[in-house]
Amino acid sequence: METVTKGKKMLLGGKWLGREETITVYDPQDNTVITTVPKASKADMLRAIQAAEEGAKTAANMPVHERISVIQKAADYIARKSERYAEIIAREGSKTITEARKEVSRCITTLRVSAEEARRMNGETIAFDQMPGHENRVGYYYHFPVGIIAAITPFNDPLNLVAHKVGPAIASGNAIIVKPATLTPLSALLLAEAFDAAGLPSKILSVVTGSGSEIGDVLVMHPSIRMVSFTGGLETGERIARIAGLKKLSMELGSNSPVIVLKDADIDAAVSSCITGAFGAVGQNCLGVQRIFIEKEQFDSFVEKFVEQANQFKVGDKKDVTTDMGPLITEKEAIRVEEWVAEALEGEATLLAGGKRNRAFYSPTVLTDVPADAKIAKEEIFGPVVILFPVETLDEAIEKANHVNYGLQAGIFTKDIDLAFTAIKRLEVGGIMINDSSDYRIDAMPFGGVKGSGMGREGVRSTMQEMTEPKVVNFNLK
Ligand code: NAD
C-alpha cells in the first residue's frame, strides 16, 4: 500500500493513484500548504465506476461474517492510529484538536455499529394467507444491496460523515465511490487507507478526489450508480436531485436549527447547551443552533448569561487544547459570514456579542432584534452566529421556528411534559430534543430532515435500509 509520494494519492478501483494535476490542501488557520491530492478527471471517475461494477458483485457475495470482520479491522486500525487521524482532521478542517479527537472516536463507533448492524439485516416472513385463496403459500422478504453507491460528502465532519456512508454500504453488501469535499479530502483518504489495510477486497471502495462541479455530474448521472448518498448544501443537493435520474437519493442537507426555551426551563442548562450547539465546530454544523426563541419572562436572564459565555469562548490556535473555536473553513467563508451580519446590522438587528473577523477567524456572535424574515434568520448561516428572539407563547415560538425552508432538528427546554409534546407534534423537523439543544446526535439514531433539510435518513441502520431494497420470495406449495 502506498499513500504518499509527492502528494497524497487517491484510491481508484483498487489502486492508489497520483495525477499530474493536483489540488492543494491548505490549513485554513494560516494558509500553510499541507499536501496535494490528485485532481481526478471525468475519465478517472468513469474508471472508478467501471471498477465498482465488478466491486459490487464482490461486495454482494461477501459473507456477512467477512463484512463484519473487515469493518471491525478498519475500526481497529483507526483506533490504533487515532491521534494521526485527529491531527489530519484538525489540520485540513476547522475543528480544534479536541473536537477532532471526538470525531475520530465517533467514526470508530459508526464503523463498529455498522459491523453490528450487518448481523441484524434480517427480513420477515410474510403471511400470504391473510388473503382468501392464498392459504398454501409461504414466503419472506430479505434486503438486497442496490449495487453501486455514489457518496458525496461535505467539509465539516470530513471523517465521520464519510464513515456514515462507507460503513453501512459495506455492511449491506454494496460498492461505494466517495467524492470527498474538495477542501478536506485527506480524512476520507485516511479512511480508505484503514479499509485497505483491513483487507477490503479491491474495487468495493474508491475515494476519488477532485472538484465536485467538474466530476460530480459524471458520477451522479451514470446509470450504473443506483443510489446517490449526498451530504452537503441545499443548492448542490437540489442540482444533484435534478440531474440524477431514476435512482435512489439520500439528501442530508443544511438547516438553521431552532431551540425553544420556555419560562419554566433550567436556564443555566439551556444556556450552556445552546452555547456549544451554536459555536461548536465554528457553527459549521448542520445541527448548529442558529435561532433561539425564549419566553419573555426569561429573556433578559437568558441573554445576560448567554452573552457572558459567548464572550468567554476562546477563539484561536486549533492545536491548543484550551481553544474552544478555530477558524472557519476559508477566509472567504468568514467574509461571507461577516457580510451577512453587516447586512442584518444595517437593518434592525442589534449586536450583543462578537461580530469581529480576523482572517478566517470570526468571533462568537450574538444578535437580537432580527426580523423573522431577514436573510440571516431564514437562510443557513453556517458560521458562529446565533439569533435570540423573545416570544410571548410556545405557539408563537413554534410558528416562527417552522417559518423557514429547513427542518433538520430542534430543541426545547421545559419541565412541562404537555408543552414538550405540543412541540414534538408541531415542529416540522426530523428530530426533536427535549432539554438538549438541536445539536444532539448519536451515530446510531435515525438522522435526517424535512423540507430543504433533505430526505431519507442516515444513522447506520437507517442508512443500510436506504442502501438496500426488499426482495420478496413466495413459495406456492399447492
Ligand atoms: P457543498 O454542497 O458545497 O459540497 C458538498 C459536496 O458536494 C462536496 O464534496 C462538493 O465537492 C460536492 N459538489 C459540489 N458541487 C457538486 C456538483 N455539481 N455535483 C456533485 N457534487 C458536487 O457543501 P459544503 O460546503 O461542503 O458543506 C456544508 C453543507 O453541508 C451545509 O449546508 C451543511 O448544513 C451541510 N451538512 C449537512 C449534514 C447532514 O447530515 N444533514 C451534515 C453536514 C453538513
Closest CA to 115 of 474, 443, 437: 443
Atom of ligand 1 lying closest to residue 408 CA: 41
| pLDDT, tens digit (0-9, with 9 covering 90-100), for 353-406 | 999 999 999 999 999 999 988 999 999 999 999 999 999 999 999 999 999 999
Q: Ligand 1 mean position to 137 CA, how many Å?
A: 48
Atom of ligand 1 lying closest to residue 235 CA: 2
Question: Residue 192's pLDDT is what?
Answer: 98
Is residue 117 part of the annotated active site? The answer reads no
| Ranges of H-type helices in 172-295 | 186-197, 212-221, 234-243, 267-279
Atom of ligand 1 lying closest to residue 182 CA: 11
Q: For a pocket test of ligand 1, which of 152, 239, 255 has the largest count of ligand atoms closer than 8 A to its C-beta?
A: 152
Using the predicted structure, report yes or no on whether residue 327 has a pLDDT greater than 90: yes
What whole-number percentage of the chain has pLDDT above 90?
A: 98
Query: Cell numbers at residue 239, please?
Result: 442540482
Question: Residue 85's pLDDT is what?
Answer: 98
| pLDDT, tens digit (0-9, with 9 covering 90-100), for 53-76 | 999 999 999 999 999 999 999 999
Where are the domain boundaries for CATH 3.40.309.10 in the chain? 257-442
CATH homologous superfamily of 10-253+453-473: Aldehyde Dehydrogenase; Chain A, domain 1 (3.40.605.10)
Question: Residue 6's pLDDT is what?
Answer: 66
Q: Which residues contact 53 (CB under 8 A, 6 or more apart)?
A: 148, 175, 224
Q: For a pocket test of ligand 1, which of 236, 406, 460 has the largest count of ligand atoms closer than 8 A to its C-beta?
A: 236
What residue owns the CA closest to ligand 1's atom 14?
212
Using the predicted structure, report yes or no on whether residue 45 has a pLDDT greater than 90: yes
| pLDDT, tens digit (0-9, with 9 covering 90-100), for 120-160 | 999 999 999 999 999 999 999 999 999 999 999 999 999 99
Closest CA to 167 of 141, 194, 197: 194
Largest CA distance in the chain: 78
Where are the domain boundaries for CATH 3.40.605.10 in the chain? 10-253+453-473
Atom of ligand 1 lying closest to residue 220 CA: 20
CB 264 within 8 A of CB 413: no
Report residue 461: phi and psi, to 5°.
-65, -45
Q: Ligand 1 mean position to 255 CA, how many Å?
A: 12
Query: Cell numbers at residue 222, please?
Result: 451514470
E strand segments, 257-323: 257-261, 289-295
With cut-offs at 50, 70 and 90, classify the pLDDT of residue 9. Answer: very high
Place of cell 468513469: 46
CB 428 within 8 A of CB 234: no
With cut-offs at 50, 70 and 90, classify the pLDDT of residue 3. Answer: very low
Question: Which of the 8 DSSP states describes residue 284?
Answer: -
Q: Ligand 1 mean position to 233 CA, how many Å?
A: 4
For residue 231, what are the β-bridge partners?
252
Residues with CB under 6 Å of ligand 1 are 152-157, 161, 179-182, 212-213, 216-217, 220, 231-233, 236, 239-240, 252-254, 286, 380, 382, 408, 454
What CA–CA distance (Å, rounded) separates 287 from 440? 8
Q: 257-442 domain in CATH 3.40.309.10?
A: yes
Question: Residue 372's pLDDT is what?
Answer: 84
What CA–CA distance (Å, rounded) separates 365 from 355? 5
With cut-offs at 50, 70 and 90, classify the pLDDT of residue 478. Answer: confident
**Size of the chain, expressed as the number of residues it contains:** 478
Q: Which of 286, 295, 338, 458 is catalytic?
A: 286
Query: Cell numbers at residue 399, please?
Result: 410558528
Question: Residue 5's pLDDT is what?
Answer: 44
What CA–CA distance (Å, rounded) separates 406 from 458? 17
With cut-offs at 50, 70 and 90, classify the pLDDT of residue 106. Answer: very high
Cβ atoms within 10 Å of 213's Cβ, excluding its own: 10
The amino acid present at 298, given as its one-letter code, is: Q
Is residue 107 part of the annotated active site? The answer reads no
What CA–CA distance (Å, rounded) separates 402 from 427? 6
* Buried residues in 76-101 as b, exposed as e (16+ CB within 10 A): bbbbebbeebbbbbbbbbbbbbebbb
Average pLDDT, the chain: 97
* pLDDT, greater one: 478 or 428: 428
Q: Which of 252, 295, 333, 338 is catalytic?
A: 252
Q: Ligand 1 mean position to 154 CA, how many Å?
A: 4
What residue owns the CA closest to ligand 1's atom 23?
232
Global pTM?
0.97
Atom of ligand 1 lying closest to residue 454 CA: 41
* pLDDT, greater one: 407 or 372: 407
Question: Residue 1's pLDDT is what?
Answer: 37
Question: Residue 176's pLDDT is what?
Answer: 99
Report residue 288: phi and psi, to 5°.
-55, 140
What residue owns the CA closest to ligand 1's atom 24?
154
Q: How far is CA 110 from CA 116, 171, 306, 318, 359, in A?
A: 10, 11, 33, 24, 34
Question: Residue 426's pLDDT is what?
Answer: 98
Place of cell 427535549: 434
Q: Ligand 1 mean position to 462 CA, how many Å?
A: 20
| pLDDT, tens digit (0-9, with 9 covering 90-100), for 273-316 | 999 999 999 999 999 999 999 999 999 999 999 999 999 999 99
| pLDDT, tens digit (0-9, with 9 covering 90-100), for 13-25 | 999 999 999 999 9
Q: Ligand 1 mean position to 231 CA, how many Å?
A: 5
Closest CA to 454 of 229, 158, 259: 229
Q: Ligand 1 mean position to 386 CA, how many Å?
A: 22
